[in-house]
Amino acid sequence: QPHHAPPPPSSSASPPHHHVLPSSSKLNEAAAPDKPVSAPLPPIPSFPHFGNDFSQRTYTPLYNAAMKVHWESAEKFLRSHPGAINVRITKEMDTVLHIAAGAKHTNFVEEVVKMMSPACLALRNKRNNTALCHAAASGVAKIAETMVNKNRDLPGMRGHKGMTPLYFAALFGHRDMVSYLFRVTDDEHLTEEDYVTVLLATINNDLFDLALTILWRKPELATLRDHNGMTALHILAQKPSAFASTSSLESWQRILYPLIRVEEKYKVGFPSGLVMSDISHTNQVSLYLLEKLWCVVELIVPGIKAVHEKKTMHMQALQLVKLLCEQVSSLEDSTIADLLTHPSQPLLIAAGFGIVELVTELVCSNPDLIWKVDEQSRNIFHVAVMYRREKIFGLIHDLGAHKDMITTYKDPTNDHNLLHLAGKMAPLDQLNSVSGAALQMQRELLWFKVLSLFISALGYFLERM
């Protein structure tokens, strides 16, 4: 990313969702750090494998049984072919356990694991992935638990490009799997880089509750970079869907949104507790009854649960931002400047997307950021005008006398000010937020008129002074 505001949010800016396990080849090609982690890989157990066409045809019935969840057929084959349970039966050198785990067949996996020794569970395929790596990518925590209960060393065994099963789970956005593997993976098996990549993967997949859990355990991760130089703030700045200020709600959802109760587990600077967003001075009985009432309403009224989940995500994202900003503000000024400038500027990116919460928290925790500019000498208010983010531009009224300096500032290279930016056409996504060419033109004229009055009045005042 260059050091200026991003292009307008589009569908490509939305967080990826991985709900279906990809094929074995796609799993093996999953995104991974460019450099393998430094921790050494455990030795690969020595098991037989067969690569010729004859042997592959021999084991086709076992493969089909695993894919179709026919345990009776698989058991019959395994009893008639001693040792077949340890054989790599595909061109990718997957065992029957790899196949069943990747296909999310819980009961089948349980039966296979019963027939295998703990050492057999550590068998790797062509890409160095154990069956637990496939299970982690599939997202079925019960499958992973079945394997780990028999071999406690599996969570620490790295797969393709040195990735841990925990990272596989975070990469594909499986909340339950990440939570389970985070508990059973020994800290000694995870490097600092592992924790950073897992943290950023959870944020990228909207698993903010898990990201908060990781940060509360290891707050130093808040300011660490991944192999691309990205921090948690850089990732959050590109996720407008995670925040209330940039989230689209239907009319009926906007009515219900402030009334829905959410549980606030991580409140920065305060002990854990329950929060009722817009209800105060109620006793414990009322809170309890209201909680039960909402539970019933969520079951009866379609769509209530979705609004509750969205509000929960918004609150968790805001808590995450506060926690990150708290950690950043504790650094030296020079370190903060470098962190929030390279490889891009989270403040300006967030301003371009219209994320008021992130911009506000960053500026409140580091007031000097208000003067940060990009390569074209544009600050957050220039970016707000460029991308027509009225909520961001509205923050200028909180600056007092400083707003005069910002409003009258001219680019030294071309003598342009905010009016020149307002005179340029708005991004298409902002234009299309209003239907009809006439209304679009009206909105553009309104932007220009407001800024004209603002700057003209200020200019007149300065001349009189």
What's the confidence (pLDDT) of residue 442? 78
What's the confidence (pLDDT) of residue 191? 96
In a structure prediction context, what are the per-residue pLDDT tens digits for the chain, which is 465 residues long? 444 444 433 333 333 333 333 344 445 555 444 443 434 444 433 334 444 444 668 899 999 999 999 999 999 999 999 999 999 999 999 999 999 999 999 999 999 999 999 999 999 999 999 999 999 999 999 999 999 999 999 999 999 999 999 999 999 999 999 999 999 999 999 999 999 999 999 999 999 999 999 999 999 999 999 999 999 999 999 999 999 999 888 888 888 888 787 866 655 443 333 343 444 445 566 666 766 776 777 777 778 888 889 999 999 999 999 999 999 999 999 999 999 999 999 999 999 999 999 999 999 999 888 888 888 888 898 899 889 898 998 888 777 666 666 666 666 667 677 777 777 777 777 776 777 788 878 787 888 777 777 665 445 444 444
Alpha carbon separation from 37 to 34, 196, 235 (Å, rounded): 9, 12, 21
Distance between CA atoms of residues 367 and 78, nearest Å: 68
3-class state of residue 42 by DSSP: coil
Residue whose C-alpha is closest to residue 207's, from 309, 294, 295: 309
Residue ranges per domain, the chain? 18-151
Strand partners, 124: 130
Distance between CA atoms of residues 302 and 292, nearest Å: 17
State both tokens at 401. 């006398």
Strand partners, 264: 273
3-class state of residue 263 by DSSP: strand
User: Sign of the C-alpha dihedral, residues 406, 394, 367, 208?
Assistant: negative
Helix (H) or strand (E) holding 12: none
DSSP single-letter state for residue 6 = P
Distance between CA atoms of residues 381 and 276, nearest Å: 33
CATH number of the structural domain 18-151: 1.25.40.20
What's the confidence (pLDDT) of residue 360? 95
